[in-house]
Chains A and B, each alone.
Chain A
Amino acid sequence: MATFALNDDSVVVVVGSGAGGGTLATDLALKGIKVVCLEAGKRYEAEDFINDEWESFAQLAWTDQRMTSGSWRVARDFAQLPAWIVKAVGGSTTHWAGASLRFQEHEFKARTTYGNVAGANLIDWPLTLADLAPYYDRAEDRMGVTRTHGIPGLPGSNNFKVFEAGAKKIGYKDVHTGRMAINSQPRQGRGACQQIGFCFQGCKSGAKWSTLNAELPRGEATGKLEVRPQSHVFKIEHDQKGKVTGVLYYDKDGKEQRQKARAVAVAGNSIESPRLLLNSHSAMFPNGLANSSGQVGRNYMRHMTGSVYAVFDKPVKMWRGTTMAGIIQDEAHHDTKRGFVAGYELETLSLGLPFMAAFLDPGAWGREFTTALDSYENMAGMWIVGEDMPQEKNRITLHASAKDKYGIPVANVHFDDHPNDIAMRAHAYRQGSAIYEAAGATRSFPTTPYPSTHNLGTNRMSDKARDGVVNKYGQTHDIKNLFVSDGSQFTTGAAENPTLTIVALAIRQAEYIADQMAKNVI
């Protein structure tokens, strides 16, 4: 593995090693560009991962303090844990469930398709499905997405079979075991899924794609990529011309370091990325870097989510096998006859007993709650993921007083559901319950959203500089050699799990950065 000097200003610094940062860092290295990837978390490999929900949470989750506000229930139940994401090499690709869906064509044109939705800050993406299609194709190939590139689907688990039976009974047609970045057969040096469960806790068999097991090692093998764990970037520096020159970070010993850079790509997820840009304010950029539009941190989206669990009179044992084992796509389209714009996906989900106790109905107690858990073995579960409306007031800000252990202001995450989100969730709860009732459920539980796993939109892409933070390549409108490479660049959230799109955008961005460097534009 390469190592680069702190004062080497010819390197590209990538902040974060998840879906966006890990892919970008790897692709740049494969193109011969020197990259230092600074990752705040530690490096754990497959053998280090733990099949135990709380132990694994302590190992992998980003638990540094964050604050919350707004009317969302997470602010009450998990006031300092707005998001359930990862602080480790590989970022949240260690934790993700593997669902890899392309956005639909109309979802790139949210403003045009949905019209003027009151209270929503909608714009169209500055790119189309056709623009992204070749990159989706490459992303699916390298991630080994099932049901693409001739890769068979995964077999259906018990949780999927219950879900499928109910779905078919109520007339849904588009039901299958998903397009998953989990090997259904050995591929690219990684084995087939062992149906371990615990996908959220890091895949111990390596069947699930992550930047940790599939991208970064390839990048490192080129000798052009240095992944530096336990390196928490807190400020991006710039020169008098307004070009970025490097980053300041705290190393594993808590010592401040400066890594110089030719360009910087920020991929710290939609909470840390805007936090970093805002904390990088200077005399020249008093409101933070790349923030001439005032949009840095705004339009925070988390998907319209929720879950439906249900109990049956016989065992399901939903924890056996992949955490997310199948999908219903019949509600993913846009059809205002349902009383809302945009659509949602239904995807099976299971939690182990410890997390079920924590998340089924946070704050609940007494027999209504415990009789649900008494039927845990007979329980099936699904997750709802739908497009939520971007709202300017939903935003990441720097908290006025709370600071991290280094004395850097922490992020506050403000979120209120939009009426469209609420209408869509109510519809999805009804449909989810109907599915399970059709399969014979005796009781169902419309379960409140968990701390956010999909964090999106806080440095959004826009055609016009005044509407967003980055252009269609993730390059900031204000600073040519500063990029955003994670889900925070999403203009809108679409109904689909975001990782595939983040990876596709990163592959595309790597080409653009290499091209701009070759032309000496950056």
Chain B
Amino acid sequence: MDTTNQEEHRPDDLGRRHFLLSASAIAAMAVSGNALIHTSEAWGLEATGLKPETMRTLVKMARDIFPHDKIADKFYALAVKTYDEKAAKDAKLKSLIESGVAELDGFAREKYKTVYAGVGWERDRVNLLRRIQTGGLFKKLRGDLVVSLYNQKEVWPAFGYEGESASKGGYVNRGFSDITWL
């Protein structure tokens, strides 16, 4: 992940797009130039194959598809980051994603006068996702996320899952049978 420092981007540089984003209360993930900046988690992501706004939408969609309040945005961003890299080389994928996101944003504007990522309540975003859930982008994103989100070893501790155990001698002496509440 790129670690673009938000300090380098003064408000003057950000222009109208940034103003709109702030106005629609999605300041935690701001778009600046071709970068997606997460102010509270202090990470940035440079978009190369896709528009930075599109990356922001994908991160939001990823969370709304598999919402875990104890998982930071960073892991959702990591889960969708490969699309940006792949889209740079794959015009078909790029078009699937950009047009899918445009459609979703279109539905959001129709109903809420803002882009998908700017819609405040998860319930309302989920209703928007339902409108596209049989489409190519949603199916691909949901299907890929099952692996790209849950197969990140860094998220496993949040679920208590301990992963590999053979190198530690298994659990024969480490609590395979330690339940006490029954």
One of A93-101, A196-204, A329-337 at the interface: A196-204
Whether B162 sits at the interface, judged by CB under 8 Å, is yes
Whether B121 sits at the interface, judged by CB under 8 Å, is no
User: Which 3 pairs of residues, A with B, have the shortest CB-CB distance?
Assistant: A377-B160, A194-B170, A321-B176
> Which residues from chain A contact B176 at a C-beta distance below 8 Å?
155, 157-158, 195, 320-321
Query: What are some 24 contacts across the A-B interface (CB < 8 A)?
Result: A51-B165, A51-B166, A158-B177, A161-B179, A161-B182, A165-B182, A193-B172, A194-B172, A195-B176, A196-B171, A198-B164, A198-B165, A205-B170, A317-B160, A319-B161, A320-B162, A320-B174, A321-B171, A352-B161, A354-B150, A358-B146, A366-B67, A366-B126, A377-B159
**A374 and B159 form a contact (CB under 8 A):** yes
Main secondary structure of the interface of A (DSSP, over half): loop
> Which residues from chain A contact B171 at a C-beta distance below 8 Å?
194-197, 320-321
Q: Kindly supply a per-residue 1/0 record for chain B positions 127-159, scoring 1 wherever the CB is within 8 Å of any chain A CB and 0 otherwise.
A: 000000100000000100011011100001001
* Selected contact of B179 from candidates A155, A158, A367, CB within 8 Å: A158
Q: Report how far A198 CA is from B67 CA in the complex, Å.
A: 27
Whether B109 sits at the interface, judged by CB under 8 Å, is no
Q: Report how far A363 CA is from B170 CA in the complex, Å.
A: 32
> Which residues from chain B contact A363 at a C-beta distance below 8 Å?
142
> Which residues from chain B contact A357 at a C-beta distance below 8 Å?
146, 149-150
Q: Kindly supply a per-residue 1/0 record for chain A positions 158-181, scoring 1 wherever the CB is within 8 Å of any chain B CB and 0 otherwise.
A: 100110010000000000000000
Rounded to whole Å, the gap between the CB of B134 and the closest CB of chain A is 11
> Which residues from chain A contact B178 at a C-beta distance below 8 Å?
158
> Which residues from chain A contact B159 at a C-beta distance below 8 Å?
353, 373-374, 376-377
In chain B, what residue has the closest Cβ to A165? B182
Q: Report how far A406 CA is from B166 CA in the complex, Å.
A: 38
Rounded to whole Å, the gap between the CB of A310 and the closest CB of chain B is 14
CB proximity to B under 8 Å, residues A353-377:
353-354, 357-358, 363, 365-367, 369-370, 373-374, 376-377
> Which residues from chain B contact A439 at a C-beta distance below 8 Å?
182
| A156, A195, A369 interface centre (most CB from chain B within 10 Å) | A195
> Which residues from chain B contact A315 at a C-beta distance below 8 Å?
160, 179
Taking A195-B172, A319-B161, A358-B150 as known contacts, 18 extra A-B pairs with beta carbons closer than 8 A to each other, sorted by chain A number, are A51-B163, A54-B151, A156-B177, A158-B178, A161-B177, A194-B166, A205-B170, A314-B181, A315-B179, A317-B175, A321-B170, A321-B171, A352-B163, A353-B161, A354-B147, A357-B149, A365-B65, A367-B67
Known: A158-B179, A162-B182. A354 touches B172 (CB 8 A): no
Which of under 10, 10 to 19, 20 to 34, or 35 or more describes the interface residues of A? 35 or more
In chain B, what residue has the closest Cβ to A358? B146
**B67 and A157 form a contact (CB under 8 A):** no
Q: Which residues of B contact A (CB under 8 A)?
A: 64-68, 70, 126, 133, 142, 146-147, 149-151, 156, 159-167, 169-172, 174-179, 181-182
Q: Kindly supply a per-residue 1/0 record for chain A positions 191-234, scoring 1 wherever the CB is within 8 Å of any chain B CB and 0 otherwise.
A: 00111111000001100000000000000000000000000000
Rounded to whole Å, the gap between the CB of B80 and the closest CB of chain A is 15
Whether A505 sits at the interface, judged by CB under 8 Å, is no
CB proximity to B under 8 Å, residues A273-316:
314-316
In chain A, what residue has the closest Cβ to B138? A365
> Which residues from chain B contact A404 at a C-beta distance below 8 Å?
none
Whether A105 sits at the interface, judged by CB under 8 Å, is no
> Which residues from chain A contact B174 at a C-beta distance below 8 Å?
320
In chain A, what residue has the closest Cβ to B167? A51
CB proximity to B under 8 Å, residues A126-169:
155-158, 161-162, 165
Known: A54-B151, A193-B172. A198 touches B177 (CB 8 A): no
Rounded to whole Å, the gap between the CB of B60 and the closest CB of chain A is 14
Whether A52 sits at the interface, judged by CB under 8 Å, is yes
Q: Report how far A338 CA is from B2 CA in the complex, Å.
A: 61
> Which residues from chain A contact B182 at a C-beta distance below 8 Å?
161-162, 165, 439
Q: Report how far A316 CA is from B126 CA in the complex, Å.
A: 32
> Which residues from chain B contact A162 at a C-beta distance below 8 Å?
179, 182
Q: Report how far A51 CA is from B163 CA in the complex, Å.
A: 7
Rounded to whole Å, the gap between the CB of B175 and the closest CB of chain A is 6
In chain A, what residue has the closest Cβ to B174? A320
> Which residues from chain A contact B167 at a C-beta distance below 8 Å?
51
> Which residues from chain A contact B150 at a C-beta distance below 8 Å?
353-354, 357-358, 373
Q: Report how far A439 CA is from B166 CA in the complex, Å.
A: 30
In chain A, what residue has the closest Cβ to B65? A365
Q: Report how far A310 CA is from B146 CA in the complex, Å.
A: 20
Rounded to whole Å, the gap between the CB of B131 and the closest CB of chain A is 14
* Selected contact of A198 from candidates B133, B142, B166, B169, CB within 8 Å: B166
Q: Report how far A363 CA is from B172 CA in the complex, Å.
A: 35
